[in-house]
Structure 1
Amino acid sequence: MTWMDAIPEAARVYLENNRLDEVECVIADLPGIARGKAVPASKWEKQAHFHLPNSIFFQTITGEWGEAAGPEGFLEPDMILRPDMSTATAAPWTKDGTLQVIHDAFDQKGRPVGCSPRNVLKRVVDLYKAEGWTPVVAPEMEFYLVGRNIDPAKPIEPMMGRTGRPAAARQAYSMSAVDDYGPVIDDIYEYAEIQGIEIDGITQEGGAGQLEINLRHGDPVKLADEVFFFKRLLREAALKHNCTATFMAKPIEGEPGSAMHVHHSVLDRKGRNIFTGPQGGETDDFFHFIGGLQEHMPSVIAVIAPYVNSYRRYVRDHAAPINLEWGRDNRTTGIRIPISPPEARRVENRLAGMDCNPYLCIAASLACGYLGMKNEIWPDKRFQGDAYEAEDAIPQGLYAALELFDGAKEMQAVLGEEFARVYSIVKHAEYNEFLQVISPWEREHLLLNV
């Protein structure tokens, strides 16, 4: 069997119409940035793997380094990166025929690299499989289309619509608002179709220039791969129309933040939803999964809300939950049970920001549910009413969130102790970098008044 036999149908169709010129060998780092190498097709076909230094997982979002190398020192040994051919997909915005292929990271003894985000998610999925469970997820991606911004001191503004006015806020679910940036959306649909990514729907959200795209439910690793690819797709489609797609949790002052809601269900060995009993009722596992989210979600907020900006999204009465209550068809609760038939019963985690790494976010959320089911944790009583009136239940800043993460030994055992060690070091280094920056607010209010 050749490598062509192992790639998805969409990639084969693309290559039937485009001569393969280059292959992008990519892997996600801790922030979710694509790292890797672009290789000429003729060379790529002759190699089974390639190398990158393990230090790609020690970088902060600014490109600085956390001291996470371990006792051996900062030697930057090579990892072995092997392609997962099932991830092969086109890069349709390129002029020449280009494939993107996600790779998995191994050390030189063939062991999975513990701090690689895709390996972290695979580790959690394997824990489910050991119990006879198959997790299923469906992500919802919120993001903003904004005007070009090359001056960090300048506030971010919504993109200019076809009407000649900036995209309007507070027009949630408006079809006219979606039409206002129709050319960008047309290219999003076209790129997604070429890449073989199935979009479940696009809607206008409440922010100025804010959209939501839903993906079809499926395997957690596959869906994380699609979100990883989709972020790049969205950026390329936006740049083609002189605007920018941003996944910041809170890019525009006074507008809602952008979330990545994750829906979860779990199947047994026979493919039946374990959240639903023989008579269609809710099972103990259903309630234990919710209980696990309530019990353990505070310890992974640092993973699903990974930057100082992430916590600007958690504002009471401003379209983002700040609680761990659960409710039925209640979007004010952090944990929502959507309306669905019994066979599709699922749990929605509404806490994660779109600035998260999709592999780590899904891994952390599934880890909470896993611990809930393994330890038979029962949730609090279902919340009824406006949960914005409930008590705050999550840390309100990155430093506090990291303290909870560092103390969560049971959660670290699920996600992997090597990942937990490296992640904590890198995020603390990143936070210390932020503390060196003096903000416009400080200059405006403290310069002459204190």
Structure 2
Amino acid sequence: MSSSDHKQSPASPSHVYAAITDMNGIFRGKRVSAEKLDKLKKDGIRMPMSSIGVDIWGTDTAGTQLTMERGDLDGICEATGRGALDLGMDGPVLPLWMCKETGEPYYADGRHLLQLVLDRYKAAGLTPVVASEVEFYLLDASSDGIAPARPQVGGPPREFDNIYSLEELSDAGPFIDDLYRTAAAAGIEVDATIAEGAQRQFEFNLMHQPDALKAAENTLFLKQIIRNVARRHGYLATFMAKPYPDKAGSGLHIHFSMLDESGHNVFDDGTEKGSDIMRAAVAGLMDSMADATLIFAPHLNSYRRLSPGGLAPTTVGWGYENRTAAIRIPGGPHAARRIEHRVAGIDTNPFLVLATILGGALDGIARMLTPPEPVTSNSHELDLPKLARDWRQALERFETAESMKRILHPEFVTCFAAAKQQEQDVFAAQVTDLEIATYRLSV
């Protein structure tokens, strides 16, 4: 039998997944017959508004006052215009965003929240140009815990970190090649791939994008593609911020610049220092950063990454080519002057991260704030303002901060805080094995 006899045209999918993105960055929606795709694109679907604000386990959040209190009313989920995409599942995904019955945006939906921020940029005559760096670990699918993926025969041992190792990249080559193909078919441009600072940890860099909404979508979609392609190759992918207590965490670093209406990068003033506008953006980011820690570190595990001793920040500082700082100004050509925001973990919702970063930067520019002096040494060891030290403090700061209501939207702040409070309450109610072993006979 010739090889051509094995080649068959792929069958058209029988169904499509119509999906919103909840506040934790998880797809939720319905499986619908593919024959109804055109109708979905035109009319959307109805889903409970509460489905945007569920907690990490998919449980309704009581504090949103949207379930029993108001009859669990529906929102209207409309197609975003991106079309149905193959993200490596058994059917394409049609991305949707949620409006109220009146047609008004529902700002608990991160897409609408980011669009609100981008509308302010348009009014200011500015366009943010955004790129993201996606870090994650490949795991051994045969393990119930967190174990590095096994190498192929003759591949690099999984006991060593192997940062920037070509052997690590080569060993994962079939997975990486498949991922690039799947991403390209979905219109996602992936740039470089790096073997990161721990066993089977990788980073994919996305191309700079003058459409920040699309940049957030691409980041979210790439995470789903990574999950699905990893399973195809016998791995599991984890986007926990800190799966190993003694290894590097996984971040979602955001790079951005801004163009004026003539296409000029307003961060560039022809010098290494960068423009006054760039420094005002930096100051705006610093002014709101501690209040926004809950966005950048939304889960219990997130705070294991934001600890001294690594390259994830713990303080509110900025510097030129300083990776210990929360905000880094990379070197390179003046025309490409940009800001790198290094706080968020990969366990975040990229719509919320970009809304918060871009909103904070624009707030600093609008008020022409001035940042403190840049950090030139280890920012962990300096007397600088601190990020929230833990999940509970982060929630307390977030829900009371005037900056979050101003930069984001009060409707979102209320819903997000309620979901995080519910998640914290569930974790706090657990009696752990360590707790039992410590106290069972000793007190």
Identify whether the pair has TM-score above 0.5, normalized to the shorter chain: yes
Which residue number in structure 1 is paired with residue 193 of structure 2? 202
The alignment partner of 1:58 has SS state of coil
Q: Quickly say closer, same or farther: Cα 1:279–1:334, change in 2 above 3 A.
A: closer
Contact 2:86 2:93 in 1 (8 A): yes
The question of 1:159 aligning with 2:149 is answered yes
Contact 2:64 2:418 in 1 (8 A): no
Q: Following the alignment from structure 2 to structure 1, what is the Cα–Cα distance between the partners of residues 366 and 300?
A: 33
Q: Normalised by the size of structure 1, how large is the TM-score?
A: 0.90
Contact 1:291 1:378 in 2 (8 A): yes
Pick the aligned partner of 1:185 from 176, 200, 203.
176
The alignment partner of 1:239 has SS state of helix
Structure 2 residue identity aligned to 1:321: P
The question of 1:84 aligning with 2:76 is answered no
Q: Following the alignment from structure 1 to structure 2, what is the Cα–Cα distance between the partners of residues 262 and 345?
A: 14
Cα deviation digits, residues 56-114 of structure 1 (max 9, x gap): 123110222322343881411111111122353224453xxx43221121111111111
Which residue number in structure 2 is paired with residue 8 of structure 1? none
Which residue number in structure 2 is paired with residue 133 of structure 1? 126
The question of 1:441 aligning with 2:434 is answered yes
Which residue number in structure 2 is paired with residue 99 of structure 1? 92
Contact 1:92 1:195 in 2 (8 A): no
Contact 1:251 1:257 in 2 (8 A): yes
Q: Following the alignment from structure 1 to structure 2, what is the Cα–Cα distance between the partners of residues 303 and 77?
A: 26
The alignment partner of 1:230 has SS state of helix
Q: Following the alignment from structure 2 to structure 1, what is the Cα–Cα distance between the partners of residues 34 and 300?
A: 41
Q: Following the alignment from structure 2 to structure 1, what is the Cα–Cα distance between the partners of residues 157 and 148?
A: 6
The question of 1:274 aligning with 2:269 is answered no
The alignment partner of 1:388 has SS state of helix
My pick for the range that moved more, 404-413 or 306-315, is 404-413
Q: Normalised by the size of structure 2, how large is the TM-score?
A: 0.92
Which residue number in structure 2 is paired with residue 283 of structure 1? 275
Pick the aligned partner of 1:428 from 398, 417, 421.
421
The alignment partner of 1:271 has SS state of coil
Pick the aligned partner of 1:60 from 48, 55, 58.
55
Q: Quickly say closer, same or farther: Cα 1:428–1:92, change in 2 above 3 A.
A: closer
Which residue number in structure 1 is paired with residue 138 of structure 2? 145
Q: Following the alignment from structure 1 to structure 2, what is the Cα–Cα distance between the partners of residues 321 and 64?
A: 32
Deviation at 1:332, TM superposition (A): 1.1
Q: Following the alignment from structure 1 to structure 2, what is the Cα–Cα distance between the partners of residues 28 and 407?
A: 25
Q: Quickly say closer, same or farther: Cα 1:46–1:296, change in 2 above 3 A.
A: closer
Deviation at 1:237, TM superposition (A): 1.1
Q: Following the alignment from structure 2 to structure 1, what is the Cα–Cα distance between the partners of residues 222 and 356?
A: 20
Pick the aligned partner of 2:291 from 281, 299, 305.
299
Cα deviation digits, residues 312-338 of structure 1 (max 9, x gap): 001211231212211111111111011
Q: Following the alignment from structure 1 to structure 2, what is the Cα–Cα distance between the partners of residues 441 and 175?
A: 40
Equivalent residues in 2 for 1:17-56, closer than 5 Å: 19=12, 21-47=14-40, 48=42, 49-56=44-51
Deviation at 1:288, TM superposition (A): 0.5
Contact 2:134 2:205 in 1 (8 A): yes
Deviation at 1:295, TM superposition (A): 1.1
The alignment partner of 2:101 has SS state of coil
Structure 1 residue identity aligned to 2:116: R
The question of 1:395 aligning with 2:391 is answered no
Contact 1:167 1:177 in 2 (8 A): no
Equivalent residues in 2 for 1:204-283, closer than 5 Å: 204-218=195-209, 219-277=211-269, 282-283=274-275
Structure 2 residue identity aligned to 1:114: Y
My pick for the range that moved more, 328-337 or 56-65, is 56-65
Q: Following the alignment from structure 1 to structure 2, what is the Cα–Cα distance between the partners of residues 310 and 322?
A: 12
Q: Following the alignment from structure 1 to structure 2, what is the Cα–Cα distance between the partners of residues 132 and 333?
A: 30
Q: Following the alignment from structure 2 to structure 1, what is the Cα–Cα distance between the partners of residues 56 and 142?
A: 18
Contact 2:155 2:171 in 1 (8 A): no
The alignment partner of 2:193 has SS state of strand
Cα deviation digits, residues 258-282 of structure 1 (max 9, x gap): 0000011111111111112377862
Q: Following the alignment from structure 1 to structure 2, what is the Cα–Cα distance between the partners of residues 329 and 278?
A: 17
Contact 1:327 1:337 in 2 (8 A): yes
Contact 2:306 2:313 in 1 (8 A): yes
Cα deviation digits, residues 336-392 of structure 1 (max 9, x gap): 011121221100011100000010011111121111111111111011122232246
Q: Following the alignment from structure 1 to structure 2, what is the Cα–Cα distance between the partners of residues 173 and 216?
A: 20
Which residue number in structure 2 is paired with residue 417 of structure 1? 410
Q: Following the alignment from structure 2 to structure 1, what is the Cα–Cα distance between the partners of residues 272 and 371?
A: 20
Contact 1:169 1:206 in 2 (8 A): no
The alignment partner of 1:46 has SS state of helix
Contact 1:168 1:209 in 2 (8 A): no
Structure 1 residue identity aligned to 2:61: G
Which residue number in structure 2 is paired with residue 343 of structure 1? 335
Contact 1:32 1:358 in 2 (8 A): yes
Q: Quickly say closer, same or farther: Cα 1:93–1:427, change in 2 above 3 A.
A: closer
Q: Following the alignment from structure 2 to structure 1, what is the Cα–Cα distance between the partners of residues 178 and 421?
A: 39
Structure 2 residue identity aligned to 1:45: D
Q: Following the alignment from structure 2 to structure 1, what is the Cα–Cα distance between the partners of residues 298 and 157?
A: 29
Deviation at 1:38, TM superposition (A): 2.0
Contact 1:30 1:116 in 2 (8 A): yes
Percent identity of paired positions between Structure 1 and Structure 2: 34
Cα deviation digits, residues 8-27 of structure 1 (max 9, x gap): xxxxxxxx976353322111
Structure 2 residue identity aligned to 1:177: E
Q: Following the alignment from structure 1 to structure 2, what is the Cα–Cα distance between the partners of residues 446 and 423?
A: 35
The two structures, once aligned, show a CA RMSD in angstroms of 2.1
Q: Quickly say closer, same or farther: Cα 1:35–1:331, change in 2 above 3 A.
A: same
Contact 1:136 1:266 in 2 (8 A): yes
The alignment partner of 1:245 has SS state of strand
Q: Quickly say closer, same or farther: Cα 1:333–1:125, change in 2 above 3 A.
A: same
Q: Following the alignment from structure 1 to structure 2, what is the Cα–Cα distance between the partners of residues 86 and 19?
A: 19
The alignment partner of 2:63 has SS state of coil
Which residue number in structure 2 is paired with residue 4 of structure 1? none
